[in-house]
Amino acid sequence: MKATKNYLAVDMGASSGRLIAGRFDGEHLELEELYRFENAPVKMTGMLYWDLPGLWQHVQNGLQIAGAKYDGGITSVGVDTWGVDFALLDRNGRFLSNPVCYRDERTDGVMEQLLQDVPRSEIFQHTGLQFLQFNTLYQVLAMKQQNSPLFDVAESFLMMPDVFHYLLSGEKSNEFTNATTTQMFNPVTNDWAFPLLDKLGIPSKFLGKVSPPGTVLGTLRKELAESACLPDTKIILPGSHDTASAVMAVPVEADGGSWAYVSLGTWALMGIESPKPLLHDTVSELNFTNEGGVGNTMRVLKNICGLWLLQECRRIWNTERRHQQLEPYSWDDMSRMTQQAVPQVSFIDPDAREFLGPTNMPKAIADYCRRTGQKVPETQGEILRCALDSIALKFHQVLEMCEQIGGASIDTIHIVGGGTKNRQLCQTAANLCKRRVLTGPIEATAIGNIMVQAIAAGDVRDIAEARQIVRASFDIIEFLPEN
């Protein structure tokens, strides 16, 4: 019987973050959420920034709670976040600016302008990444166009999870899975796409060595270890892109047939796992992306606008209700309203540009239906039903694309992440995709983060064993297609 060990995942999304402890006895994993905090960008001087000092304070708060709860017995800590966003540091290791949020308008038109000068196929062959206007490449090009003085003094480039690993350990690293989200990384050479960057006039002096998931950076900084009472806690790189950690935790069996995954939250990342990058023309034409996974795998996937549609509707309506001094809508209220509406009446394209950051999401959904000659959803339930059905229909479309690029039919869709709590969406996905849908675990990102730490510590043999542990430790719910 192995001794129980405690691991700590800092799981930070674009709207909230958590510190989750994992107690592992060698066969089963149990989770405990120790600390939760909100995360939202802040607009200053016309730009949308992440509040890095505030986020770092929350991480420190969570560490102190973990140290007190487990009496210093935390084996290691790993951080996962969203992709594409970054910070630049000077030669003294000081941050030059708060990181800019990917929803900032500075990248408007940058991608389109680049594609007038450089063929799309050339960029894809260098990077294997799908074309999204907020990719790191276009953020950096926007800085270049604006003659940013930061380039003159920047000595280090850190993606968001790299930032927190640096603050925790004092060691700078560029973790593989997040580096692959930049459209500045070549998945074939397994290094930065230096020829492309040189052609575009983008400085590469600050790009560091890329480290794989499972790399041990060292131990917690001395002052942090003392304040949190965590004297021997190591810092281990998980799949630091949150989707890489989530896919790590997909509870697929070794002989489970062909499968696709959806990591469902604010965004829905849908794709297949591949032992190598797929760079053929069909992948490019369908705008799929090759992002790094754990264990020398690639996540060949497509970004889909997920529960952001519903989250923004709820935010708008609850703002109105606060002004009216009414109780805010809960997610259960939203579910009831959706259930009362007739399904599959109107559809939107969740990835249309008008849904990236509208000031009023319900109005944007209604306007889209009006513009495309469909029945316009009027009630709140009809708007939510339209959004939910549209996400599920997008899953159906992307599933067909996955089968096309992978060259095989797919039997099962695994949906993991917090979005699995929306059972209406999971059932609708099964109905429209005409496939068996298995949902869970809910906390897939934190679980995948912790399992990579356990592999690095020698407590779990490999990914296959880690997925077996996930199946044994957490509930998996099956949804079958209805008529």
CATH code of residue 350: 3.30.420.40
For residue 108, being part of any structural domain is answered with yes
Say if CB 445 and CB 411 are below 8 A apart.
no
Say if CB 64 and CB 228 are below 8 A apart.
yes
Say whether 349 is catalytic: no
Q: Residues 87, 230: one domain?
A: yes
Q: Residues 9, 96: one domain?
A: yes
Q: Residues 211, 331: one domain?
A: no
For residue 382, being part of any structural domain is answered with yes
Q: Residues 155, 13: one domain?
A: yes
Domain that includes residue 150, residue range: 5-236
For residue 244, being part of any structural domain is answered with no
CA-atom Rg of the chain in angstroms: 22
Amino acid occupying residue 398:
V
Q: Residues 258, 225: one domain?
A: no
d(CA 202, CA 74): 41
For residue 127, being part of any structural domain is answered with yes
345-401 pLDDT tens trace: 999 999 998 998 899 999 999 999 999 999 999 999 999 999 999 999 999 999 999
How many CB atoms within 10 Å of residue 94?
10
Q: Residues 274, 138: one domain?
A: no
**Dihedral (C-alpha) 308, 310, 313, 315: value to the nearest 10 degrees?**
-70
Q: Which residues make Cβ contacts (< 8 Å) with residue 269, sequence separation at least 6? A: 243, 246, 261, 262, 263, 299, 301, 302, 303, 304
Q: Residues 206, 286: one domain?
A: no
Closest CA to 19 of 86, 69, 83, 53: 69
How far apart, in Å, are the Cα atoms of 53 and each of 13, 16, 157, 252, 266?
Answer: 16, 15, 18, 39, 23
For residue 110, being part of any structural domain is answered with yes
* Cis status of the peptide bond prior to 441, with omega within 30 of 0: yes
For residue 473, being part of any structural domain is answered with no
Question: Final residue of a domain: which of 175, 205, 236?
Answer: 236
Q: Residues 197, 272: one domain?
A: no
How far apart, in Å, are the Cα atoms of 98 and each of 64, 87, 237, 263?
Answer: 24, 7, 23, 28
> Strands 298-305 and 289-292, how do they pair?
antiparallel
d(CA 263, CA 418): 9
Q: What is the chain's pLDDT, residue by residue, as a tens digit (483 residues)?
A: 578 999 999 999 988 999 999 999 999 999 999 999 999 999 999 999 999 999 999 999 999 999 999 987 999 999 999 999 999 999 999 999 999 999 999 999 999 999 999 999 999 999 999 999 999 999 999 999 999 999 999 999 999 999 999 999 999 999 999 999 999 999 999 999 999 999 999 999 999 999 999 999 999 999 999 999 999 999 999 999 999 999 999 999 877 679 999 999 888 999 999 999 999 999 999 999 999 999 999 999 998 999 999 999 999 999 999 999 999 999 999 999 999 999 999 999 999 989 988 999 999 999 999 999 999 999 999 999 999 999 999 999 999 999 999 999 999 999 999 999 999 999 999 999 999 999 999 999 999 999 999 999 999 999 999 999 999 999 999 999 997
Residue 289, φ and ψ in degrees, nearest 5: -130, 150
Which residues on neighbouring strands pair with residue 269, listed in sequence order? 263, 303
How many CB atoms within 10 Å of residue 27?
11
Residue of 104, 162, 242, 389 marked catalytic: 242
Three-state helix/strand/coil letters over 95-159: ECCCCECCCCHHHCCHHHHHHHHCCHHHHHHHHCCCCCCCCHHHHHHHHHHCCCCHHHHCCEEEE
DSSP of 266-306, one letter per residue? SEEEEEEEESS---SHHHHHTT-EEEE-SSS-EEEEEEEE-
Q: What share of the chain is helix, strand, coil (3-state, %, to 5)?
A: 40, 20, 40
Q: Which pTM does this prediction carry? A: 0.92
d(CA 386, CA 341): 9
Q: Residues 9, 117: one domain?
A: yes
Q: Residues 120, 268: one domain?
A: no
d(CA 128, CA 188): 9
Q: Residues 157, 300: one domain?
A: no
State the total domains in the chain. 2
For residue 383, being part of any structural domain is answered with yes
d(CA 483, CA 480): 10
For residue 7, the SS3 value is strand
Q: Residues 202, 345: one domain?
A: no
Location of structure tokens 């229909």 = 393
